[in-house]
Structure 1
């Protein structure tokens, strides 16, 4: 007898033991194992569903954050552009005000120079007339007393000088 020819009574005992162990596993342990595996599968599926929901919510929050960030960048660009435009306007206003003040100063200075020129010209004409009368009196050897006549001669001379100056200009 060897392993290839088992004894019938040993074979029956082995078959009964196998059947007892098999039925014990099939009726008692296998349902508990299946129940534990089912619970584990449900827990994994629930965790996966929860993780997918959290991931979807995170994507929505990220998209909202990106949209707000983009809007904030656009708003910052608009504010910068408005500030640049306002700066240009202020510079133009200051330049215009400076130009106006410069023009006023130039006009005032020109008017003052013209008034000073007229006063200086009148004073010089009087001095030239007085010197001319003194010189003419020294040349003649006697003082010239007809100031009205001397004034007419000086006026005629100055009129000729003014006419010559205006034709040259």
Structure 2
């Protein structure tokens, strides 16, 4: 029935409703397409979605494994860093101890050297003093003997008598001069 024949027949049909044969043929086509979609397209689509879900789950598991390994590596790195810092602190402490020990040894060596130099200087001063005393005794002895010979009027060239006169003269000189000042030590 065509729309013109429907109008001609005088029937009042709803223009929005298609004809019955159109509805039936449309339902048959829809069922065939639905069945083909259900059997052919939908399983492939499900397989693709399942593969994607497995890939995502595998990626998540892999990411969790990698994250766990990274956390483990970070903990190991932090442990090694702490060990390195402890080792550095220990080495610094040892270096400071060795430095203090070397400094103490150097001070001790300097003190020993200073004491050796002072002792050597004292020995040299004492030797020079003894040499000066011997020289002085000889010169003063000769002068004293000449002087005593002139005063006494007789020759004092006798060694024993001259030695006694010289010793007495030096003893008198030492008694008259103030005591020798002690050498200051620095």
The TM-score range, normalised by the shorter chain, is 0.7 to 0.9
Residue 145 in structure 1 maps to residue 156 in structure 2: yes
SS, match of residue 59 in structure 1: helix
Structure 1 stretches of 5 or more lacking a match?
A: none
CA contact (8 A) 2:144 2:165 kept: no
Distance 1:106 1:42 in 2: 94
Superposed displacement of residue 161, structure 1: 3.4
Residue 58 in structure 1 maps to residue 70 in structure 2: yes
Alignment of 1:67-82 (within 5 A): 67-82=79-94
Deviates more, 1:39-48 or 1:84-93: 84-93
Residue number in structure 1 paired with 2:98: 86
Deviates more, 1:22-31 or 1:5-14: 22-31
Distance 1:59 1:107 in 2: 71
What per-residue deviation string (whole Å, max 9, x for no partner) do you get for residues 136-165 of structure 1?
54x659564265555444433432433342
Structure (1 or 2) with the larger CA radius of gyration = 2
Distance 1:166 1:141 in 2: 31
Question: TM-score, structure 1 length as denominator?
Answer: 0.82
In structure 2, relative to structure 1, the CA distance for the partners of 1:133 and 1:160 (3 Å cut) is: closer
Alignment of 1:1-169 (within 5 A): 4-137=16-149, 140=151, 144-145=155-156, 148=160, 151-163=163-175, 164-166=177-179
Distance 1:59 1:79 in 2: 30
Q: Root-mean-square deviation (CA), in Å? A: 2.7
More contact order relative to length (CA 8 Å, sep ≥ 6): 2
What per-residue deviation string (whole Å, max 9, x for no partner) do you get for residues 44-68 of structure 1?
1111111110111011012101211
- Greater percentage in helix: 1
Question: TM-score, structure 2 length as denominator?
Answer: 0.75
In structure 2, relative to structure 1, the CA distance for the partners of 1:33 and 1:52 (3 Å cut) is: same
Distance 2:100 2:151 in 1: 75
In structure 2, relative to structure 1, the CA distance for the partners of 1:105 and 1:130 (3 Å cut) is: same
Distance 2:77 2:180 in 1: 82
